Every structure is written in C-alpha cells, then in structure tokens.
Amino acid sequence: MSANSLRKRAFVYSDDAGENLDVCPPSPTKKRTPSRRTSELFRRTAETHRLVGREAERKTIREFCENHILVPKAGSLYISGQPGTGKTALLKEVMRDMEREMKDVEHEVKTATINCMTVKDPRLVYQKLLIEMGYVAESKEKDAAIKSLESLVLKSNKKKIMYVVVLDEIDQLLTKDQDVLYKLFEWASTEGSKLTLFGIANALDMTDRFLPRLKARDCEPQLLNFNPYQVAEIRAIIMDRLFSLEDDTKDESNGKVEGKDKSETGKPRVAPLMQRAAIELCARKVAAATGDLRKALDICRQTIEMVELETRKKERLEKRQSLPQRGLAPLSEIRLANLENQVAGSSENATAARRQSGSFADAVSSKAAKLTLQDAPKVTVEHVKKALASAFGSPVVQKMKALNVHQKIVLAVLVMKIQSGKTVDCEVGKVFDHYTTTCRSSNKIGAVNRGEYQDLINMLEANGLITLGKSKEERLRKIGLVPRESEVLDATRGQDILDTILAKAGVKMDATDM
C-alpha cells in the first residue's frame, strides 16, 4: 500500500479532520433528529398535509371547477401572481380534493398538466397535450397535432367528456403572432367545447398586453390574482409546519390562518425548534422584501440546519474532552509513521481505529436523535439574521433587482460578453447591437431606440453599476461592469424573460467569482 493512500486514510480517521468524523453515512435504522425531520418539512419539495390560508383564492378556484368541470361547461381561468405565492400548489390541492367529485359525475374527466418551461417550441404544446391525454396525432403532418386536438375538444360525439388542461408558466408559449395562446383560449370559449383551461403565470397583465384580440372575440378568461404573502400568513404557515410535528396537531386540517398559533385555552402556543421572535423576524423581513413563501421556507430550513450543526459540534467537543478520562487517547495523537507501520504489519490496528472513529460519530448522532422536540435547541433571532443576509444578498444585488427589465438586459449582455471572452467588444455601440439582437430573439420584449438606450446607460452609470470610458464618439466609449457576474445573475434569476434570454445565450447560471 502506498504512503499517499496511507496518509489519506490517516487524515480521515484523525481527530484533526474535524468534520470528517462524520464521513460514514448514518445507518438507515438510526432515528432522525427532531431538527432533521423539521428541516425536511421546510424543503420546497415537501408535501404538506394542507395549505394554510388563501381561503378567498381557494373558494374562487373551487367554484370555477364546480361551474366548468362538474357541469360540464368549457371555460378558462388565468391565475397570476409573483413567484412563491402558492398559485400552482393551491390549484393542485383543490383538484386533489375534488377527485372523488370528478369521478362521481356522469361524464369522464381527463386532466393534462404541463409546465411550459419544458416545451422548447410553443407549437409543440399541442402534441404534448395529446400525449398527456393518452392520444397520438393520426399523421406526421406539421399541423396534425393541432387538427387532432381541435377535433377532440370541439367536435361533438356521443361520448361525454371534459378535458381539463393546466398550463403552468403559460407565458412561455408567447410567440410573435400569439397564435398558440389564441387557439387555446378560443377553444376554451367556444360554445359546446369540451376544454377547461387553467393558465398560470407571474404576469398580472399578460392577457391585456399580449392577447388584446381575446376581448374583441369575447374569449377573455376569468382572472384570479395571488397577492404576495403578508406577515400573518407567513407566520401562520411556519407555525403550522412546526406544530405538525407534534402529535396533538396531526388531526387538525381546517387550513385557517387565524388561531393556528393558539392553544385550546387561548394562550399562545410555544412552537418547537424556533423561538417566536425568530419566526416573527423571518415573516416580517420576507413579507417586506418579496412576499415569496419559498424564501421564508428556505430561511427556516437553513436556520434549523445551523442549529443542528452547532449542536453536533458542541456534542463532538464534549465527547473528545471525555475520551482521555476513560483511557482513550485522541486519534490525533496517533503519529502518521506509526500508523503506516501498523497497517503494513497488520490491518487489525487500522480496523480498530475505524471502529473507534465510527463509535465516536455514532455516540454523537445517537445523543442528538434522543432529543425531543421540547428539549432540542431552538433557532434564535441571530440565526435568522445570518440566513436573511445570505438569502437577500448584498445591497448591490438589491439595487439591481429594482432596475427595469431593459436595464437588467443590458447588464445581462455585459455578463454574456465577459463569459464569452469578448470584453474587447464592450463598447456602447456594440453592446447596443447585442442588446437589440437579444430582445428580438426573446420574442417577448421590444428593444428601446438609441436615445432611450443612452438614457439607460447613463442611469446605470449614475447607480454605480457600470463605468464609461472616454472617447470622442459616444458609441465607442468602453463599458465596464462594476458588480460581479454572480451578483448580476442573482439579481436577474427567477424572472421569466431574463431567464429565457440567459438560457438561450448559454450563460452559466451558477457563476461565482470567476
């Protein structure tokens, strides 16, 4: 065995390795700690037993389903709202709650759900819908899928059926002539149609800006807007997830925001694992910044993991201090040369070292797992402050988030040029040409003229986000990007138009300080 491999093994088993004492994955049979179970509840992918709040929106969606799916009668509902406001989750929950009612009606109900972000070409959505409904286009002609789908939803036949289509991120189907969206909304508004359409997107005024002909043709969908979450709602959702770990709240399912943090006597209940002040701070900061529930859940998960890490480090330190008292020498005192000789002569000593290291980590994790919800350390205000600073980034990122979309596109163009190594082309005129091409390729937003572009450049310079060099001609002035590329990407991430532009340009979205 080589000396290099011995050194690697000595490092893993050495007490000096610190965190490497937990390199061995825990046994599947080990009990998870309360912090670990709670952290999983706050993951974005976690399935909760109910959605708290949004009672007015829930009622509107349910009434629409009753009037159009159960009857049946074709129609369309456009659901808008900022990211993280619960649009998709609430619609899924209402549809899930109504499954039995849909099965009991005389007609058949077929549901197709598509996230339009996964559709490369808007016209391919017809074929994808056919597949989701269990059909295929009868021929390979270009418009075969359109004709097949139109025949299904518009032509009358003896079989009673209602096709329910849910298109998430529907604004991804926008094209120059909006032909795809016009067809779908018109089909859902045609007399005798068998299509009920749900469109979900972030833009509140999408139908007004991009589909003006819908009003003229009397095809305008019913509108439902989700406002950003308020402090009380975010606080109630966090408390609900924490209380869901306790046995006495497992059967509660009324879904109301009010009263969830009160006991039967009317006194405030003490939430496990998070101090009430920490919950309040998280709710207030997120509500003031974005109202994005996902951000609040991320912060809670991060702070709970912080506390668990601190607890494990403390227990590990206590365990190390107790080892010499029991006659066990710390592993760091095993010299590398001695370990090499022992392994060269026999594997028994190395095995003993591994066993001692493993038993040490087991003792630490088992102690943490024995903690109850009431005994486990709690997240404090200081933990939340650290997570908030990480979640909302630097003041520069916040400043860029407040810019209009054209200013953000200019910054994104600069990032594209830097990543492609074309910094020599960062001149006012060439950046304008690139900006115009980028807007044109997006099919979603028109470029401003040269005069307006110059105003954008001057405003970016005034905000300290770019630098402008000197030149006799304005178009030849050099532009320099002040923020880091990663900060620009953080400021533009999560906005549909910018995400599409950056994805088409092949920009590395995980850029760090490069």
Hey, what amino acid is at 62? Answer: R
Q: State the pLDDT at residue 151.
A: 87
Given this model, what pLDDT does residue 37 score? 66
User: What pLDDT was estimated at residue 39?
Assistant: 65
Cα separation, 378 vs 233, in Å, equals 22
Confidence of residue 52 (pLDDT cuts 50, 70, 90): confident
> Is the model's pLDDT at 19 over the cut of 70?
no
Share of the chain above pLDDT 90, in %: 18
Q: Is pTM, for the whole model, over 0.85?
A: no
pLDDT at 76 over 90: yes
Reported as a pLDDT band with limits 50, 70 and 90, residue 58 is very high
Predicted pLDDT of residue 33: 62
Residue 117: band (very low, low, confident or very high) from pLDDT cuts 50, 70, 90: confident
pLDDT at 195: 93
How far is CA 141 from each of CA 146, 147, 182, 458, rounded to the nearest angstrom? Answer: 10, 10, 21, 51
Res 174 pLDDT > 50: yes
Share above pLDDT 70 across residues of the chain, in percent, rounded to a whole number: 70
How much is the pLDDT for 514?
41
- pLDDT tens for each residue of 293-340: 888 998 999 998 888 888 888 888 887 877 665 544 454 444 444 544
- How confident is the model at residue 281, as a pLDDT? 94
**Does residue 159 surpass a pLDDT of 80?**
no
Per-residue pLDDT tens digits for 472-484: 888 888 988 988 8
**What's the CATH fold of domain 395-504?**
Arc Repressor Mutant, subunit A (1.10.10)
305 touches 35 (CB < 8 A):
yes
Indicate the pLDDT class of residue 359, thresholds 50, 70 and 90: very low
Say whether pLDDT at 381 is over 90: yes
Q: Which residue has the higher pLDDT, 98 or 389?
A: 98
- Segment 135-158 shows an average pLDDT of 78
Residue 142 pLDDT exceeds 50: yes
Q: How far is CA 13 from the centre of its chain?
A: 38
Coil, helix or strand for 412? Answer: helix
Residue 379, pLDDT > 60, answer yes
Give me the pLDDT at residue 113, please.
Answer: 92
Q: Do domains 69-226 and 395-504 have the same CATH topology?
A: no
Is the pLDDT reported for residue 48 higher than 80? no
Phi, psi dihedral angles at 163 (to 5 degrees): -95, 120
- Provide mean pLDDT across the span 438-449: 79
Using DSSP's 3-state secondary structure scheme, residue 473 falls into: coil
Report the C-alpha gap between 456 and 459 in whole angstroms: 5
At 33-43, the pLDDT tens digits run 666 666 677 77
261-275, 314-328, 351-365: the lowest-pLDDT one: 351-365
Give the least confident one: 67-81, 241-255, 420-434. 241-255
Mean pLDDT of the chain: 76
Asked whether the predicted pLDDT for residue 458 surpasses 50, the reply is yes
Mean pLDDT over 402-429 rounds to: 83
Band (140; pLDDT cuts 50, 70, 90): low
pLDDT at 94: 93
Q: What pLDDT, on the 0 to 100 scale, is given for residue 47?
A: 62
Whether the pLDDT of residue 12 is over 50: the answer is no
Question: Which pLDDT score, from 0 to 100, does residue 67 have?
Answer: 93
Q: Residue 46 has what pLDDT?
A: 60
pLDDT at 280: 94
How many residues would you count in the chain? 514
CATH class of domain segment(s) 69-226: alpha beta
Q: What is the DSSP string of 126-149?
A: HHHHHHHTT---SS-STTHHHHHH
Q: SS3 letters for 57-82? A: HHHHHHHHHHHHCCCCCCEEEEEEEC
Whether the CB-CB separation of 189 and 219 falls below 8 Å is answered with yes
Edge to edge, the sheet with strand 195-201 lists 108-115, 161-168, 195-201, 75-81, 222-226
Secondary structure letter of residue 268 according to DSSP: B
What is the bridge-based pairing of β-strands 479-481 and 466-468? antiparallel
Q: What pLDDT is recorded for position 81?
A: 87
Higher pLDDT, 60 or 202: 60
Give 109 or 365, the one with higher predicted confidence.
109
CB-hemisphere CA count at 13 Å for 48? 25
Low-confidence winner among 118-132, 312-326, 352-366 (lowest mean pLDDT): 352-366
Q: Where are the domains of the chain?
A: 3-37+304-369, 69-226, 230-302+380-392, 395-504
Q: Would strands 161-168 and 479-481 be described as parallel, antiparallel, or unpaired?
A: unpaired
> Of 422 and 80, which is predicted with more confidence?
80
In order, the DSSP letters of 162-173 are: EEEEEEETGGGG
Is 502's pLDDT higher than 60? yes
Select from 167, 205, 210 the least CA-distant residue to 76: 167
